[in-house]
């Protein structure tokens, strides 16, 4: 049996070599279909991985209470965010003081998204986000210090003029090997002493996790006054298995603080750290459908092309089929021979398409700063699809070849 399979494969390769140009064109059609399918789906997996790395950096045991839901727009499709009454500083602090679940709670707010930080003659671009935070923010946000120290409760309580900055800001303001810790920088009209530098995270999908500045929240309240400012509360459960219990406790307590009537929906939003990834994948499902549709249409064309080349091959090799039958080859042997040839052509095209698809997908991955991805599921799907296309395209020509009369075949010119 093994010898028969090897013989069929050898004959298939010889036939492919004898009709090289026609085979190459068919292989390229199949390869293009598989490449489009694997390439697009690999790109989506790369984006999903990058998003997961960026937005779940706080960990699976972190969630945030805010006054509005997230909004994601892809093309013309977008989810409509919900807006609720602002969360006041008093509401946030009352929650932090009374939430006695085994968790770490942090309160923060944005002072501005358009700050310019200056040190001597150097300055950043005027789009640096500045946040007001408490001493727990670094823990709940998943950030770490590369040097210096965190805010102390005293820094937060008295609104000290101290700052923690991202590594990108340090590179922009401090040239050479200047130690930024202890240096005085300007943020708007105020002067701040740098007490810490955040560990570098890198950027992905156009977002930088290193270009922002943290100030004590009381300092922001004093020097970055803004009417109707809303605050956010970040909670990290100490045990990831207690995540849902922590969300339930937090929801109940904050409903009491907000005086939400019984039976009414929450007038605030609770988002888990991986929610944005879920929302993104909901929006890109149509891209997946488009990729599958494009791949299916291309593979249909490839199937027709492969069937055509196999029918032509049967016609051109009629005399050869007669000789094989005359020397003892059965109908099943002839049929398997042509099916094997069809499968070999399809799998060559599939392998080329998979290689180029992975390459294209990972070029996107490289651009957005994601990791190299080998989509094993889509590789398996590509191989299976090529096998199905080969069998469907090769069955009719193989059956036609098997049914040829040996005497008529030997007389064929």
Question: How high is the pLDDT of residue 290?
Answer: 76
With 80 as the cut, is the pLDDT of residue 138 above it? yes
| pTM score over 0.75 | no
Model confidence at 371, pLDDT cuts 50, 70, 90, reads: confident
Question: How high is the pLDDT of residue 222?
Answer: 92
Give residue-wise pLDDT tens across range 139-188: 888 888 999 999 999 999 999 999 999 999 999 999 878 899 999 999 98
* CA 401/CA 406 separation, integer angstroms: 10
Whether 237 and 100 have beta carbons less than 8 Å apart is answered as: no
* CA 183/CA 220 separation, integer angstroms: 20
Q: In terms of Cα–Cα distance, which of 34, 37, 43, 46 is closest to 289?
A: 37
The answer to which of 123-127, 311-315, 347-351, 378-382 has the lowest mean pLDDT is: 311-315
Choose from 111-125, 266-280, 359-373 the range with maximum mean pLDDT: 111-125
Residue 65: other Cβ atoms inside 10 A: 25
Buried b / exposed e over 158-176, threshold 16 CB at 10 Å, is ebbbbbbbbbbbbebbbee
Return the sign of the alpha-carbon dihedral for residues 294, 300, 302, 305: negative
**What is the separation of C-alpha 23 from the centre of its chain, rounded to a whole number of angstroms?**
36
Model confidence at 374, pLDDT cuts 50, 70, 90, reads: confident
With 50 as the cut, is the pLDDT of residue 206 above it? no
* Number of residues that this document lists for the chain: 413
Q: Which residue has the higher pLDDT, 69 or 57?
A: 69
Give residue-wise pLDDT tens across range 330-358: 888 888 888 888 888 888 888 998 899 88
End-to-end CA distance of the chain, in Å? 33
Q: Which residue has the tokens 């990831």?
A: 240
Model confidence at 267, pLDDT cuts 50, 70, 90, reads: confident
Question: How high is the pLDDT of residue 320?
Answer: 76
């Amino acid at each position: 049996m093994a010898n028969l399979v090897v013989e069929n494969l050898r004959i298939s390769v010889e036939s492919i070599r004898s009709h090289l140009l026609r085979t190459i064109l068919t292989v390229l059609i199949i390869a293009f279909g598989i490449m489009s399918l694997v390439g697009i789906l690999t790109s989506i997996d790369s984006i999903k991985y990058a998003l997961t790395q960026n937005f779940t950096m706080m960990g699976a045991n972190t969630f945030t209470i805010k006054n509005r839901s997230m909004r994601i727009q892809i093309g013309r499709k977008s989810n409509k965010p919900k807006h609720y009454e602002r969360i006041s500083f008093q509401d946030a602090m009352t929650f932090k003081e009374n939430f006695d679940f085994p968790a770490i709670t942090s309160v923060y707010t944005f002072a501005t998204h358009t700050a310019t930080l200056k040190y001597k003659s150097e300055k950043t671009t005027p789009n640096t986000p500045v946040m007001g935070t408490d001493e727990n923010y670094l823990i709940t946000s998943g950030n770490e210090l590369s040097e210096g120290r965190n805010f102390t409760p005293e820094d937060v309580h008295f609104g000290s003029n101290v700052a923690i900055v991202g590594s990108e800001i340090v590179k922009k303001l401090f040239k050479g090997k200047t130690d930024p810790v202890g240096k005085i920088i300007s943020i708007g009209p105020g002067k701040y002493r740098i007490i810490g530098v955040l560990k570098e995270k890198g950027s992905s999908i156009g977002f930088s996790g290193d270009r922002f500045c943290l100030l004590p929240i009381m300092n922001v309240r004093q020097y970055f006054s803004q009417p109707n400012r809303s605050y956010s509360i970040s909670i990290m459960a100490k045990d990831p298995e207690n995540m849902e219990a922590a969300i339930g406790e937090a929801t109940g307590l904050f409903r009491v603080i907000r005086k939400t009537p019984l039976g009414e929906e929450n007038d605030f939003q609770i988002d888990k750290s991986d929610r944005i990834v879920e929302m993104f994948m909901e929006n890109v499902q149509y891209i997946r459908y488009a990729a599958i549709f494009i791949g299916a249409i291309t593979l249909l064309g490839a199937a027709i092309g492969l069937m055509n080349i196999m029918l032509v091959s049967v016609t051109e090799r009629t005399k050869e089929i007669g000789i094989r039958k005359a020397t003892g080859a059965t109908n099943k042997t002839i049929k398997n021979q042509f099916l094997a040839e069809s499968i070999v052509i399809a799998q060559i095209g599939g392998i080329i398409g998979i290689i180029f698809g992975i390459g294209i997908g990972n070029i996107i991955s490289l651009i957005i700063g994601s990791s190299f991805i080998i989509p094993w599921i889509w590789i398996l799907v590509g191989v299976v699809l090529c096998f199905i296309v080969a069998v469907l395209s090769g069955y009719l020509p193989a059956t036609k070849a098997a049914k040829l009369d040996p005497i008529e075949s030997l007389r064929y010119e």
